[in-house]
């Protein structure tokens, strides 16, 4: 009796191509890669790592457990099958010419406030949510839910946009019946590709976690090439978090924390003045790996 078949590992494998965060998918972008826990795996983390590295051929940097959930439907139908899913966030560096990679913001256009597409998406969501709230019976409930919409989507400038609330925003849209996973009609749905099962929800969890991590931990560098300019680093930070940063202040903070050191090389193809290339000070930082990192992320 092999009982470990019931444990499923789901990976949100993330990389950055150019400036754009991407996620590894299967089934034409409809699912996240997943696999069973095998008895040869020494631990869950090792299981994910081994399996993803075999699948992509790339070494994985940061691996982090996200969340474990019971698949409710499967519990009740007491047939054999997957019962517990454990999701992981994994970061890798490059992936030239591989298939299965999709942009984060194909699934969550509204999370990319930097882009025009994101802003129009947000404007549409605002109208749809307004309509959803208006259709509620109780006035008190109407007020409560509208407050929730306002604080999650930063409607009306009363509250600032919080880039870490990816999951909460998705859940609100789900409750409002504005995503395909909630079974709504396509014309009523918000823009953004849907996924099978609750995989888009898991992706939202991963995005939120990564956005939180890059603020305090030097994990961005797991996604960067060996050498990079400060603007490249800034662009990656911006596209991960979905918000703009002030260029000079960003440089100031990166430099004064001594997160990076010059390689001595110069990047010529900047389109303007050539830029110095930097590398992550992994060696020096490893010693004090528990000292926090501060990355400034502000609104435009």
Partner touching 162 among its own copies, DNA, none, CB below 5 to 8 Å by kind: its own copies
Residues 146-175 that bind DNA (CB under 7 A): none
- Binding to its own copies by residue 55, rule CB under 8 A? no
- Binding to DNA by residue 272, rule CB under 7 A? yes
Largest CA distance in the chain: 66
- Of 113-121, 241-249, 260-268, 288-296, the window that binds its own copies (rule: CB under 8 A) is 288-296
- CA–CA dist 76, 22 (Å, integer): 35
Cβ pair 49, 60 in contact under 8 A: yes
Cβ pair 13, 59 in contact under 8 A: no
- Candidates 253, 279, 281, 285: give the one binding DNA (CB under 7 A): 253
By rule CB under 7 A, what count of residues binds DNA? 22
- Binding to its own copies by residue 3, rule CB under 8 A? yes
- CA–CA dist 37, 43 (Å, integer): 9
- Binding to its own copies by residue 54, rule CB under 8 A? no
Partner touching 127 among its own copies, DNA, none, CB below 5 to 8 Å by kind: none
- Binding to DNA by residue 225, rule CB under 7 A? no
- Binding to DNA by residue 230, rule CB under 7 A? yes
- Rounded to a whole number of angstroms, the minimum distance from the CB of residue 285 to DNA is 18
- CA–CA dist 218, 208 (Å, integer): 16
Choose among 150, 151, 44: nearest CA to 90.
Answer: 44
Sole residue written with tokens 């925003």 = 169
- CA–CA dist 10, 86 (Å, integer): 6
- Binding to DNA by residue 258, rule CB under 7 A? no
- Checking DSSP bridges between strand 34-36 and strand 275-280, what pairing results, if any? unpaired
Residues 119-148 that bind its own copies (CB under 8 A): 144, 147-148
Choose among 204, 128, 118: nearest CA to 161.
Answer: 118
- Rounded to a whole number of angstroms, the minimum distance from the CB of residue 265 to DNA is 11
Q: Which residues are at the interface with DNA (CB under 7 A)?
A: 229-231, 246-249, 251-253, 268, 270-276, 294, 296, 298-299
């Amino acid at each position: 009796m092999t009982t470990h078949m019931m444990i499923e590992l789901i990976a949100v494998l993330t990389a950055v191509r150019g400036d754009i965060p991407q996620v590894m998918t299967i089934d034409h972008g409809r699912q996240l890669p997943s696999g069973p826990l095998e008895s040869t795996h020494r631990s869950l983390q090792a299981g994910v790592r081994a399996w993803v590295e075999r699948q992509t051929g790339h070494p994985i940097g940061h691996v982090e457990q996200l969340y474990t959930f019971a698949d409710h439907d499967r519990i009740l139908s007491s047939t054999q099958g997957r019962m517990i899913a454990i999701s992981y966030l994994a970061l890798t560096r490059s992936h030239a010419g591989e298939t299965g990679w999709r942009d984060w913001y194909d699934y969550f256009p509204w999370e990319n406030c930097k882009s025009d597409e994101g802003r129009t998406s947000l404007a549409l969501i605002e109208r749809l949510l307004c309509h959803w709230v208006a259709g509620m019976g109780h006035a008190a409930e109407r007020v409560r839910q509208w407050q929730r919409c306002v604080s999650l989507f930063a409607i009306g400038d009363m509250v600032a946009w919080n880039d870490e609330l990816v999951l909460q925003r998705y859940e609100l849209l789900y409750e409002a019946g504005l995503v395909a996973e909630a079974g709504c009609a396509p014309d009523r749905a918000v823009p953004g590709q849907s996924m099978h099962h609750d995989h888009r929800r898991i992706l939202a969890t991963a995005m939120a976690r990564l956005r939180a991590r890059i603020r305090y931990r030097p994990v961005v560098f797991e996604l960067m090439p060996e050498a990079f300019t400060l603007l490249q680093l800034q662009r990656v930070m911006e596209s991960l978090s979905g918000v703009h940063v002030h260029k000079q202040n960003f440089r100031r903070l990166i430099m004064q924390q001594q997160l990076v050191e010059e390689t001595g090389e110069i990047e010529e193809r900047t389109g303007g003045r050539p830029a110095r290339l930097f590398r992550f000070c992994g060696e020096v930082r490893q010693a004090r790996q528990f000292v926090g990192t501060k990355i400034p992320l502000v609104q435009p």
